[in-house]
Structure 1
Amino acid sequence: MKNLFLTLLLIAVSSIIYAQNDFSGQITNAETGETVFSANIYIPELGKGSMSDENGKFIIKNIPNGNYKMLISSIGFTTYSTEIDFQENINMNFAISPSAIEMEEVIISTPFHQLQSENVMRVERENVAELNRKGAVTLSDGISQMAGVESLTTGVGIGKPVIRGLSSNRVLVYTQGVRMENQQYGDEHGLGISSKGIGSVEVIKGPASLLYGSDAIGGVLYLNPEKYARQNETNAAVDTDYFSNTRAYQGSAMVKTSGEHFKILGRGSYATHSDYKTGDGKRVTNTRFNETDFKAGIGYQDSKYKADLRYNFNRSKIGIPEEIGKQSTDKDPLLPYQEIDNHILSLENKLYFKNSSLDLKIGYQFNNRKEFENHQHGEAEDEEEEMHEEDATTHPALEMHLETLNYNLKYNLPKTGKFETIFGVQGMHQTNTNFGEEILIPDATTIDFGVYATTHLHLEAWDFQGGLRFDTRSIDSEEVKAHDHEKGEDDTHDNHGHESSAIPAIDQSFESINGALGAKYNVTEKLSARLNLATGFRAPNLSELTSNGAHHGTNRYEIGNEDIEHEQNFQLDLSLEWRNKHFEAFINGFHNTINNYIYLQPTGGVKEGSPVYAYTQDDARLYGGEVGVHIHPHPLDWLHIESSFETVTGKRDGGAYLPLIPANSMTNTLRIELNDQKQAVTGKYMFLRLKNVFDQNHTSDFETRTGGYGLLGAGLGGNLSLGALKFKLAVSANNILDKNYISHLSRLKPDGISNIGRNISVSLKWMI
């Protein structure tokens, strides 16, 4: 393997071309011939771009020799895509066609940086600014507005993505180009990242092990950080948000500047929320939370080399709700609560050669998860309760440090005819260390290694993409003695009265070979079809292998199973998309078969006052899809009518339903967008949205049915210019009718606690 890396590197280095080129031209309207102002000209593989000026002219400097895709996008125009062979300075003029369809963006999460219309794999993409202006309280709340994506929630402050019925360790989250590791196996563990400083969100729905390895059998949530300022520009912005339901304030300040080669940005954010109020007017005690977030980046680029160093620090202090108790709008969490520090440091290095490139991404993460709760040791008397409560706020009952080192090395080979090919190596080294008196999972080391190859073939009407990958994961954990585990004698001693291990040590390895094959066919100029076949795998996590104790967040005693095998799945995706200037329609269908699906099964026993659940396995299948239309009738191009429906069903082999499967839902939206650049207020918009969630009667053995409900939302906003001052204003309201309802994916449902009621948000952004 070492020799292979050296050979690839030597081949690449031998072809270095030290020439650099300038690319200039002019953008015009294909129908009127007028110049187009503020059009984005972008070369995805290089990460370089420019914007057309008042005369439609642009220039991009320091482009290395090679063949690269170039994109031109502008609001109100169809995104233009072409390939250009850069061997010298080039001047070209382009005419782009007006369209009422929203402009397309580059998909970063798939390997060849295609537009969605060109991509073999369908990927959902949304700008975070668009999600926020719809009234999203958190990033987890925002992504639930995307087709096929929901959120598993504990109140408002804790949420994790659910993609087509799969969540937790079955869905990978990527940020800054590296996989995010923050003890995501737990239902009550949120994303741990602020939406501020995130530019866009991409969702791969289905197995993505070919690209990302273990744990991606359900899909990938890919968070793209905000971009640097354009070359030789400096930007700054301050934005604030207010949420009426949680009496919440959120603020963020950003500054970024770019020169000829270097660029830098920094952003600081803070949010504080009170307990949320349900539709019947009651506040859910201890759902309050605070979040501090800091993001920074330093970039460098010339014609041969590109580097991007990013850092994100996030501190979240989140209350753990247990009941509806004292009504308060305080914002400091009560006991019990979580305090989580998350550090993410990533470095991307990219070397450009003649028609090829070498890309190395390295990431380091440190996750410090603490949980504070009332200590009950049995010896505390009434007069000691105050002392124990003070001790609980200074000494966490649970503290885990998770350190993770990721790497991803890939070589983009020179194009061979119509083929583009990538070879890559990915890996991870991770350690989990306990410092608190409670131990949920043991100290352990996890090591991943994977090697893969993927290729793309482009023909006139067909696109094909496929690849293979081999992965191995090893998990080596330490033994946890009974006295360290704080269990009663009946649970921690054998029949002879000797102390036994609460959690035995494990040393296991899991291996898997996976592949993917997809095709996209342009049936006509307006109709395209996609078919994708993919396999994926997921190694069991430490909780599933080693649990032996009460899981207070779910009110059950969980027992792990060190004999469970890794999950292996196969998914078929079929999608059809019709698209013209004024009408879009799509239908996506999927069938996902999972062998050795890991789940919790009640044993019928009781320990420590909680019912006992044990991890076991069975084969399972999930199927369903999404269908939608988008109408923007001519000549009313400012009017947009959208409707979508999504459904998923999950069953075990015996016919029993899987838990935490979202209910079927339909969303209808009426939008008005006015983009007259000559008025004082530009980019004006209004929307009215109704989301209907149907009854969920297909429940697992330990779930109850959930009734349906409808939620009405609305919003408006625009951009205001007052001389040199520029503002963005947005007002939105969710659950306008203050409906009292319970989501099937709420972890507070077993306690009969409703979701959030009416919430009005006001956002103001000042751009400097």
Structure 2
Amino acid sequence: MYKLIYLLLALAVTSTTFAQNSVKGKVIDAETNDPVMSATIYISKLEKGALTNFEGIFQIDNISKGDYNLVISSIGYSTRTVKVSLPSNEEVIIQLQPSAIEMEAVIVSTPFHKLQSENVVRVERETIDNLNKSGAVSLAEGIALLPGVETVTTGAGIGKPVIRGLSSNRVLIYAQGVRLENQQYGDEHGLGLSSSGVESVEVIKGPASLLYGSDALGGVLYLNPEKYAVPASTDLDAKVTYHSNSLGTETNAGFKTSGERLKFLVRGNYATHSDYETGNGMRVTNSRFDEKDFKTGIGYQDEKYRGDLRYNYNNSTIGIPEEIGEQSASKKELLPYQQIDNHILSFDNKLFFTNSSLDIKVGYLFNNRKEFEDHHEENEEEQGEEEQEEEEGPALEMHLETLNYDLKYNSAKWGNFETIFGVQGMFQTNKNFGEEILIPDANVSDIGFLAVTHYHLEKLDIQAGVRFDNRSIESREMGVFGEEEYFAPIDRNFNSYNGSLGIKYNLFSRFIARVNVATGFRAPNLAELTSNGAHEGTNRFELGNSGLNNEQNLQLDLALEYSNEHFEIFTNVFYNNINDYIFLNPANRFIEGDPVFEYLQNDAKLYGGEAGLHLHPHPIDWLHLESSVAIVKGEREDGENLPLIPATSFTNTLRVEFDKGAWFKSNYGFLTVKSVLDQENVSAFETRTPGYSLLSAGIGGSFNLNKTMINLRISGNNLLNETYISHLSRLKPDGIQDRGRNISLSVQTFF
């Protein structure tokens, strides 16, 4: 490991001796020939870019010899891609066509980093800034705004993504370019991440095991970190947000600066919330939480090497609600609660050759999860004993250490073929330090080999790949044989071969069809194999099954899209067949008052899709009408419905945008109605969930005060104070309702 780091640093120093090339040009309006100011020019292969000046001129230096795609985007224009070859002394003249359609962005989570319109796989993407405009309290709540994505929640502080009915270890999360590992198997375990310092989120819906390996069977949530400042600039910003429902406040500040080669950024965030209030005016006891988040990064780039070293520390104290009891606006922790420390250290390196490159990513993650229990004592003497027990330490404490690596070689183009070869893997240890043990001490190791190729013609793109994976799980014997808390040792190996084939075809102008078929797999996780204990957040006793097999699936995905200057429509249908689907099943017995659930397997299938339209009619391009629907059904081979399947939902939004006003600029306003239908297709241990509709609205804009730009935003969620319970709420069995009306006010300054 150290030798690799020294080698990369040496390459960074010596690479400055290579010849330097530049690409320069001008961006103009295709209809008026006027220069386009502040247009973004981005070289996805190098992850490097620039902005045009007042005259529409740009220049990007320190580029090695080779062929590159320039992605040019600007608000109010269609995004386009232009190919250039270096070295060249010619100035590139780029014409942008005016359009009311939102500008496209490069998709990072797919292998070849193309625009959405050029990808073989459809990917949902949204900026965190746009998600925050909705008034989302947490990152998990924000991503639930994307079509086909929902969240399993335990109160307001714990949420995790559900993609087309699959969640937990079936959805892989990437942060800072490395896979996130934080005991995500538990439904009552949150993301352990803040939206602070995250620029955008991308969602691959469907099996992404070919690119990411085990645990990506259901899809991938890819969080793109905040970009560095543009070369030769320094940025400073601060933001304060208030949420009325939970009396919550969030403060955020960031600083970043960039020279020609070296770059630096740092950002801190602190959020604290009281118990949230339901639509009937009652506060949900112990739904309070607070979160501290710190991110920093150092980057370096020249014509032959790019390096990005980033670190993220996240600390969360999250109450575990069990009832509507004492009404309080206190923010002090209350038993039972979780305390989670999450560290992510990533080192992303890229070596550039003529028309090829080598990517080397290394990540170290440390997750410390503690749970403090409530014994529900009533008198003061017993409460004092409880406080003393808390001081002695948590009832549950688990340390999860993960070292993961990702090496990919992007080969030189062979005609119309572009190919990637790669190897990925991780080494992981889980250790217990608390009195209670849910899963034993264990070691997990992964390794995977992959190859994926892309074939491009004028109207046709084909992408195909193959992959082999091996996962090894070895756990320690813990406890005394014959006793209830005994953990038998296991030593299991899981292997799988997978493949994918995707086709994108431009049927005619502006009409795109995508067909993808892929296999995926997921090895059973440590909890499914070895669990033997009660979970506070779920109120059940879980028993593992050491004989579980791989989950193996085959998914077919069809997407049709049409767009013109003022109208967009899409439909996306899928069918997902999973062999040996692992699920929890009631065992019809109790241990210490908690119902016992055991892990079993049965074949299953999920099917459904998403559809939507976006209308922005001419000449009133400031008006946007958006509508979408998401449907998913899930059932086992024996006819039983799968648990935690989202209900069918419809989302309709009226949005207005004005770039300039008398006092403000970048003005916007929106009105959204989300309607969720009854969920009657429930599993054996679920109950029917009535439907509901939620009304949201918001306005915002920015203005300059001297040399400082100030953004003001106000948004309201559940404005009609609807009393409802989401089908994916972990508090539903206790009859605890979701959050009522919430007004969010945000002030952000840029210096």
Q: How would you bin the TM-score normalised by the shorter chain?
A: over 0.9
Decide whether the 8 Å contact of 1:21 with 1:86 is kept in 2: yes
Aligned to 1:692: 675
For residues 448-463 of structure 1, the aligned pairs below 5 Å read 448-463=446-461
SS at match of 1:391: helix
Give a deviation string over 1:543-571, Cα, whole Å, max 9, x none: 11111222232222211110110100110
Aligned to 2:8: none
Runs of 4+ in 1 over 4 A off after TM superposition: none
Larger mean CA deviation between 17-26 and 97-106 belongs to 17-26
Cα distance in 2, alignment partners of residues 392 and 636 from structure 1? 62
Aligned to 1:425: 423
Decide whether the 8 Å contact of 2:16 with 2:303 is kept in 1: no
For residues 303-382 of structure 1, the aligned pairs below 5 Å read 303-374=303-374
Aligned to 1:22: 22
Give a deviation string over 1:273-318, Cα, whole Å, max 9, x none: 0000000000000000010000000000000000000000000000
For residues 622-633 of structure 1, the aligned pairs below 5 Å read 622-633=606-617
Decide whether the 8 Å contact of 1:16 with 1:353 is kept in 2: no
Tell me which of 557, 568, 588 is aligned to 1:573. 557
For residues 204-353 of structure 1, the aligned pairs below 5 Å read 204-353=204-353
Cα distance in 2, alignment partners of residues 68 and 17 from structure 1? 21
Give a deviation string over 1:648-675, Cα, whole Å, max 9, x none: 0000001110000000000000000011
Cα distance in 2, alignment partners of residues 500 and 597 from structure 1? 27
Cα distance in 1, alignment partners of residues 268 and 115 from structure 2? 31
SS at match of 1:230: coil
Give a deviation string over 1:517-557, Cα, whole Å, max 9, x none: 00000011110000000111111111111112222322222
Residues 284 and 421 of structure 1, relative CA distance in 2, 3 Å threshold = same
Aligned to 1:549: 533
Give a deviation string over 1:80-104, Cα, whole Å, max 9, x none: 1122111234411111000000000
The alpha carbon displacement at 1:480 in A equals: 1.3
Give a deviation string over 1:47-103, Cα, whole Å, max 9, x none: 111111111111111111111111110000000112211123441111100000000
Cα distance in 2, alignment partners of residues 128 and 743 from structure 1? 23
Letter in 2 for 1:57: I
For residues 457-536 of structure 1, the aligned pairs below 5 Å read 457-482=455-480, 493=482, 502-536=486-520
The alpha carbon displacement at 1:271 in A equals: 0.2
Larger mean CA deviation between 288-297 and 392-401 belongs to 392-401
Aligned to 1:642: 626
Residues 307 and 679 of structure 1, relative CA distance in 2, 3 Å threshold = farther
SS at match of 2:527: helix
Please list every run of 5 or more consecutive structure 2 residues that lacks an aligned counterpart in the other structure.
Answer: 1-14
Cα distance in 1, alignment partners of residues 77 and 248 from structure 2? 38
Q: Are 2:556 and 1:585 equivalent residues in the alignment? A: no
Aligned to 2:160: 160
Cα distance in 1, alignment partners of residues 208 and 581 from structure 2? 17
Cα distance in 2, alignment partners of residues 542 and 516 from structure 1? 28
Cα distance in 2, alignment partners of residues 224 and 373 from structure 1? 36
The alpha carbon displacement at 1:767 in A equals: 0.1
Cα distance in 1, alignment partners of residues 88 and 162 from structure 2? 48
Decide whether the 8 Å contact of 2:150 with 2:161 is kept in 1: yes
Please list every run of 5 or more consecutive structure 1 residues that lacks an aligned counterpart in the other structure.
Answer: 1-14, 483-491, 494-498
SS at match of 1:227: coil
Decide whether the 8 Å contact of 2:320 with 2:536 is kept in 1: no
Letter in 1 for 2:467: R
Decide whether the 8 Å contact of 1:50 with 1:60 is kept in 2: yes
Aligned to 1:172: 172
Cα distance in 1, alignment partners of residues 580 and 606 from structure 2? 14
Decide whether the 8 Å contact of 2:16 with 2:302 is kept in 1: no
For residues 597-612 of structure 1, the aligned pairs below 5 Å read 597-612=581-596
Tell me which of 739, 744, 750 is aligned to 1:756. 739
Aligned to 1:722: 705
The alpha carbon displacement at 1:729 in A equals: 1.1
Residues 618 and 736 of structure 1, relative CA distance in 2, 3 Å threshold = same
Aligned to 1:485: none
Aligned to 1:445: 443
Cα distance in 2, alignment partners of residues 474 and 453 from structure 1? 22
Residues 61 and 606 of structure 1, relative CA distance in 2, 3 Å threshold = same
Tell me which of 647, 650, 657 is aligned to 1:666. 650
Cα distance in 2, alignment partners of residues 43 and 26 from structure 1? 15
SS at match of 2:508: coil
Decide whether the 8 Å contact of 2:318 with 2:338 is kept in 1: yes
Q: Are 2:611 and 1:613 equivalent residues in the alignment? A: no
Cα distance in 2, alignment partners of residues 323 and 375 from structure 1? 14
Percent of matched pairs sharing the same residue: 60
Larger mean CA deviation between 688-697 and 56-65 belongs to 56-65
Cα distance in 2, alignment partners of residues 514 and 367 from structure 1? 30
Letter in 1 for 2:727: H
Larger mean CA deviation between 552-561 and 616-625 belongs to 552-561
Aligned to 1:97: 97
Q: Are 2:720 and 1:737 equivalent residues in the alignment? A: yes
Larger mean CA deviation between 173-182 and 393-402 belongs to 393-402
Cα distance in 1, alignment partners of residues 544 and 254 from structure 2? 45
The alpha carbon displacement at 1:258 in A equals: 0.2
Cα distance in 1, alignment partners of residues 165 and 736 from structure 2? 22
SS at match of 2:102: coil
TM-score, normalised relative to structure 2: 0.97
TM-score, normalised relative to structure 1: 0.94
Decide whether the 8 Å contact of 1:245 with 1:277 is kept in 2: yes
SS at match of 1:101: coil
Residues 737 and 722 of structure 1, relative CA distance in 2, 3 Å threshold = same
Aligned to 1:397: 395
The alpha carbon displacement at 1:17 in A equals: 10
Aligned to 1:11: none
Aligned to 2:522: 538
Tell me which of 651, 655, 662 is aligned to 2:635. 651
Decide whether the 8 Å contact of 2:440 with 2:476 is kept in 1: yes
SS at match of 1:129: helix
Cα distance in 2, alignment partners of residues 674 and 519 from structure 1? 38
Letter in 2 for 1:730: R
Cα distance in 2, alignment partners of residues 55 and 382 from structure 1? 74
Cα distance in 1, alignment partners of residues 387 and 348 from structure 2? 46
Decide whether the 8 Å contact of 1:17 with 1:353 is kept in 2: no
Q: CA RMSD in A?
A: 1.5
Aligned to 1:712: 695
Q: Are 2:38 and 1:38 equivalent residues in the alignment? A: yes
Residues 763 and 436 of structure 1, relative CA distance in 2, 3 Å threshold = same
